[in-house]
Structure 1
Amino acid sequence: MSDLLEILSPVGDMERLHAALDFGADAVYLGGTAFGMRAASAKFTPELLSQACELAHSRGKRVFLTCNTLPHNNEIPHFESFVKNAVDAGVDALIVTDIGLLSLAKKYAPDTEIHISTQAGIVNYVTANEFYNMGAKRVVLARELTLEEIAEIRAKTPDDLDIECFVHGAMCVSFSGRCLLSQYLTSRDANRGECAQPCRWGYHLMEEKRTNEFYPIFEDERGTFILNAKDMCLIEHIDKLAKAGVNSFKIEGRAKSSYYVSVITNAYRKAMDIYKSDPDNYHLPQWLKDEVYKVSHRAYCPGFLFGNPRESQYYENSGYVREYDVVAVIEDCRDGRIYAEQRNKFNKGDEVEVLSPDGEPVILTASELFDEKGEPIETANHAAMKFSMTCDRIFPKNSIIRIKK
């Protein structure tokens, strides 16, 4: 078992940073205002990046900055100031794909770790070793690898080269995210963080002389979602990945909600702690297996970990499964009450769950609700309203109250 077994969580803004840190991430990855593969979550200006690093470091956590697009000529002159701002902010690593940016990162930030993005498509030990020789501290392996291939890469690379693998989240039908479909159909370049996700759309056939008639490829009148991939979920295989030599267990989702970040980080944190406590007897309690289903998700699969990638495709539809709603976030617990801020409507008498970093979710009945002035109310129905509810339990700040739909 490696000394480094890291839960690495996605962060799209400061709210999600707090969520990741509160629920047990060892490190987070985030994007600046350029060069990142999630244009929609490019929220961290130099000032916010400094704040993020200061907060994470104060809690003993690390911050990795994505620089993993494939930049064009006109973007290169801006990279020096981007990197120097990142170094000044205190980032612990730069995640790159392009070997040109790799060379510039070494030049502009010689004392900062360099991690090679999954976009580089590393599927063998020769490539991993070459990146190591070029100065990489870590390689993020391609998602398209089996457990045996991961173990062989670990066995044939230097011990001080970290191995990072994705363990949870959305997968791309194109190899390691190198997709041109979005750019072709919408002029939004997936390799520069602007993917429109056309792989999730339904498709039909059209015969050239019948231009107004569309035919489903199979299934039914909705067409087929033949390009649509399931989501990856490897929480039940943490032990196998750790024994194969994986150091960092990466959760996908910089564009996902703070609720997603909280729940999934918490689940993998707890799973990793269970593994560390007894590596030879890795068994998850049912409540922890259930947690990954309490966020918005597509059908799950183990990706390529055991081969058989065909099982990773989902042809029925491209929608999400969403069975729970966040109704509030706890701000304080005192004097027999929970004090919280509302996120979605719920009513007096509803059965709710409280998820905290402390352990298994707690089921409560909202037997009494009060507004900010302490007056009894029947429903919490105003966005971001302050309210309280009777409860004799104490939960940490930022614990989540949710309800089954």
Structure 2
Amino acid sequence: MVMMMAPGGTKEMCRMVLDEGADAVYVGVVGWSRRGSEHELTDDEIHEVIDYADRLGKEVRVVVNTLPSSTEVPMFLDRIAMYASWGAKGFMISDVGCMRLVKEMLPDVAIHTSVGCGITNHRDVQFLSDIGATYVVLPYRLSVGEIAEMKAKTGVGIEVFLFKTPSGGKICPGKCMMSSYFSYRRWLDDNGKDHFFGSASRGGDCLRVCQTNWEFEVDDVAFREGMTIKTNPALWLEELPAYLAAGVDCLKVPGRDRSDILVRDIVRFYRRVLGAIAESDAPNLASFRPELETFRQRWVVERGHRDRRLISEAEREAMRAERAAFRKSARPAAVAQ
């Protein structure tokens, strides 16, 4: 039976989605996940969520999908072992070396590959399965046929986002380093863990610079239409039966950085949709469309708020760096003694 896994960007969101029918909730760890700290949980909160899920007979996946440095790997494994001892049933990981280490250390936990692995074909899926992945998450531009082929050729658990995009083509979400080049600042916490501003792969929030307006110049001809590089995805509906028939094992609801209420409502909605699909070989999902449209509108509004905030942060950081560079260049040279 397909598992519906929902986000837990706050402790309250975790409780809501579990109460509304999610089979599992995924939570991020401050400094070890590809989101800003405001959408992550503390260790105490993660412990509470694990206990709450356990009482409901449900599960928690812990998101640790940064790319640890060699000095951070022991800290990474210690945290994994701690969460597992509390009852976490799985982990979302990007780093393939750490994936293998976790599987060797805890062979019974579920390992979900993170979107940072950037899957594009069934050989990628097979490789990740061979090193310990239980579920391999696919980018949301793959077709039903491609998903069916990956499932048939590898047999690994297939996880997909409840997302589609208005345009096709292959992308590698999670492997983008654009934000890191745009703004880079780091600091150590009290435990010796590096934190990075603007680098999702190293534990800081992506600054969403692809969502700002870009101007291009080709052969001295400027294009100033305010083009954005990445388009907004949309939530599924009619496609869902075909994806399930293709062998999808885990449906991943996005939204750790959305409001608790919006994510709760989406989980409640999809639990009803999955119930309708289970009751019929040819379900008519048309009655769900008006409700889905309201979710899409709410999603775009909240995403706009988030993107504007992140872009503003990036602009402030760029100005800070520019001022620092100016002060350095304006500093008088030391007088030779």
Question: What interval of TM-score do these two structures reach, taking the shorter chain for normalisation?
Answer: 0.7 to 0.9
Letter in 2 for 1:246: V
Counterpart CA distance in 2 for 1:138 and 1:228 is: 26
1:224 aligns with 2:224: no
Q: Which has the higher helix share?
A: 2
Letter in 1 for 2:227: T
Which protein, 1 or 2, shows the higher relative CO under an 8 Å CA cutoff with sep ≥ 6? 2
- How many residue pairs get aligned? The number is 286
Deviations 1:44-84 (A, max 9, x none): 22322121011112112111111211222342231122111
1:204 aligns with 2:215: yes
Matches within 5 A, 1:157-236: 157-158=154-155, 161-168=156-163, 175-187=172-184, 188-192=198-202, 193-205=204-216, 217-219=223-225, 223-225=226-228, 227-236=229-238
CA contact (8 A) 2:20 2:264 kept: yes
CA contact (8 A) 1:31 1:41 kept: no
Q: CA RMSD in A?
A: 2.7
Letter in 2 for 1:104: L
- Cα gap change, 1:133 to 1:203, in 2 (>3 Å): closer
Counterpart CA distance in 1 for 2:57 and 2:236 is: 26
- Cα gap change, 1:24 to 1:203, in 2 (>3 Å): same
Matches within 5 A, 1:278-357: 278=280, 280-287=281-288, 289-294=290-295, 296-298=298-300, 319=304
- Cα gap change, 1:174 to 1:245, in 2 (>3 Å): closer
In terms of Rg, which structure is larger?
A: 1
Q: Which runs of 5+ in 1 are unaligned?
A: 210-214, 300-317, 321-405
- Cα gap change, 1:145 to 1:168, in 2 (>3 Å): closer
Counterpart CA distance in 2 for 1:5 and 1:66 is: 20
Counterpart CA distance in 2 for 1:157 and 1:196 is: 35
Per the TM alignment, residue 93 of structure 1 is displaced from its structure 2 partner at its CA by: 0.5
Residue 129 of structure 1 is matched in structure 2 by: 126
Q: Provide runs of 4+ in structure 1 moved above 6 Å.
A: 169-173
Counterpart CA distance in 2 for 1:45 and 1:137 is: 26
Task: Report sequence identity in percent.
Answer: 28
Counterpart CA distance in 1 for 2:294 and 2:247 is: 27
- Cα gap change, 1:206 to 1:247, in 2 (>3 Å): closer
Counterpart CA distance in 2 for 1:290 and 1:131 is: 37
Residue 394 of structure 1 is matched in structure 2 by: none
Counterpart CA distance in 2 for 1:169 and 1:259 is: 22
CA contact (8 A) 2:162 2:253 kept: yes
Counterpart CA distance in 2 for 1:107 and 1:120 is: 20
Counterpart CA distance in 1 for 2:65 and 2:93 is: 4
Counterpart CA distance in 1 for 2:84 and 2:78 is: 10
Letter in 2 for 1:190: A
TM-score, scaled to structure 1: 0.65
Counterpart CA distance in 1 for 2:199 and 2:262 is: 26
1:93 aligns with 2:99: no
SS of equivalent residue, structure 1 residue 217: strand
Q: Which runs of 5+ in 2 are unaligned?
A: 185-197, 306-337
1:245 aligns with 2:247: yes
Deviations 1:255-304 (A, max 9, x none): 111012111111111111110111x21212435542452462239xxxxx
- Cα gap change, 1:204 to 1:130, in 2 (>3 Å): closer
